[in-house]
Amino acid sequence: MKNKAHLAMFLAAFWVLGCSPKPHVASLATNAELLDKKGWKIDTLRKDVIWYQYSSANDPEFANQNVNVVSFDPNKKMGIALLEYKKEKDSLSVFASRIDGAIAGINATYFIEKKDSADYMHLRLKGKDIQQVKVPQSSIYWWKHQGMMTFNDKGTQFEIGFSPADFSKVKASNIITGAPMLIDDFRPVGLTFADTTGLKVDLKKLHYEHYLKHQGVRHPRTAVAVTKAGKLLLITVDGRNPLAKGMSAKELTQFLKRFFNPKAAMNIDGGGSTMMWIKGQVPNGIVNYPTDNKKFDHYGQRMVETALFIK
């Protein structure tokens, strides 16, 4: 009887261990994805969508920064990414209101309907070239299409790399351009793109669109990245405030390498255009601090033409 009692206890213990709840899959993915958790808040929006929020007052490298990152894992086959374009422009929260099932989104590429600089970028949606590069290499805007993000019509496969000389040779049915490239095949190319260290240049005297002035100083920033596992990262960095100083392209490159080490990353339209929307967040879904109203709140949205969403 004693042996039978011991056997019964063993079987009961085995059943409890075998049936006890397993760690949440999203939590495991989060732990593997974020390389340094100090300063971060983490929220699982859906098993395939993780929202990271960074804020630190004393980090040696990134004190007084406010960063939001949304990670989307298409491998879980629960959702898709999609790019929205509207010629008449809208705020990001209005864009989101028109998309059934939208969970998160950011502003996307540079303006198309802009007379002085529209021709420096390329936009292709579902095989149709809506905007093509026309400016000469001598143009002050030439650098602004240095990189491109391509993706399939299903919104489940993404690649980021340097733009070609001829976009007609790119077979992808969807293209958005941006600049500068921050990371290429794990190489932090953004460290040197607009590095002003040691340069005897008065940045204030340069044209606003000069790459050194535009990318070599701190601004709010929006970026996209792709990880080795094929995840898409949507990134916003707040700026122009003592609590959120913004980053240069070099600093954003360092930040992404340190915390996520993505395979590739590209800067897109930032400054006053920088916005991130998360479903259900009050007051209007905007979780970062847009700057167009010159207040540190969630109401200073800029009217934009393109937005990138997860649904």
Beta carbons of 84 and 176 less than 8 angstroms apart: no
Tell me whether residue 66 is in a domain: yes
Look at residue 225 in the predicted model and tell me its pLDDT. Answer: 98
Tell me whether residue 179 is in a domain: yes
Tell me whether residue 129 is in a domain: yes
CA-based radius of gyration for the chain: 22
CA angle 93/99/102 to nearest 5° reads 80
pTM of the prediction?
0.89
Look at residue 113 in the predicted model and tell me its pLDDT. Answer: 66
Look at residue 204 in the predicted model and tell me its pLDDT. Answer: 87
Look at residue 291 in the predicted model and tell me its pLDDT. Answer: 97
* DSSP conformation letters of the chain: -HHHHHHHHHHHHHHHHHHSPPPPHHHHHHHHH-S--TTEEEEEEETTEEEEEEEESS-TTTTTEEEEEEEE-GGG-S--EEEEEEEEEE-HHHHHHTSTT--EEEE-S--SS-TTTGGG--EEETTEEEE---S-TTSTTGGGGSEEEEE-TTS--EEEEEPPS-GGG---SEEEEES-EEEBTTB-THHHHT--TT----GGGS-TTSHHHHHSS-B-EEEEEE-TTS-EEEEEE--SBTTB--B-HHHHHHHHHHHT--SEEEE-S-GGG--EEETT-TTTSB-S---TTSSSSS--PPPEEEEEEE-
Tell me whether residue 1 is in a domain: no
239 is written with which tokens? 């700026």
Look at residue 16 in the predicted model and tell me its pLDDT. Answer: 36
Tell me whether residue 215 is in a domain: yes
Look at residue 115 in the predicted model and tell me its pLDDT. Answer: 63
Separation in Å, CA 52 to CA 68, 220, 266: 6, 17, 19
Tell me whether residue 6 is in a domain: no
Domain range enclosing 58 = 24-310
Tell me whether residue 9 is in a domain: no
What whole-number distance in Å separates Cα of residue 276 and Cα of residue 274? 7
Number of domains in the chain: 1
Tell me whether residue 13 is in a domain: no
Amino acid 228 reads K
Look at residue 6 in the predicted model and tell me its pLDDT. Answer: 43
Cβ partners under 8 Å of residue 266, min gap 6: 147, 148, 149, 160, 178, 179, 180, 181, 182, 223, 224, 225
- Give the pLDDT means over successive 10-residue stretches in the chain (311 positions): 42 37 38 88 98 95 98 98 94 97 96 72 95 92 96 98 96 97 98 90 90 95 98 98 96 98 98 97 98 96 97 98
Look at residue 199 in the predicted model and tell me its pLDDT. Answer: 87
Cβ partners under 8 Å of residue 82, min gap 6: 99, 155, 308, 309, 311
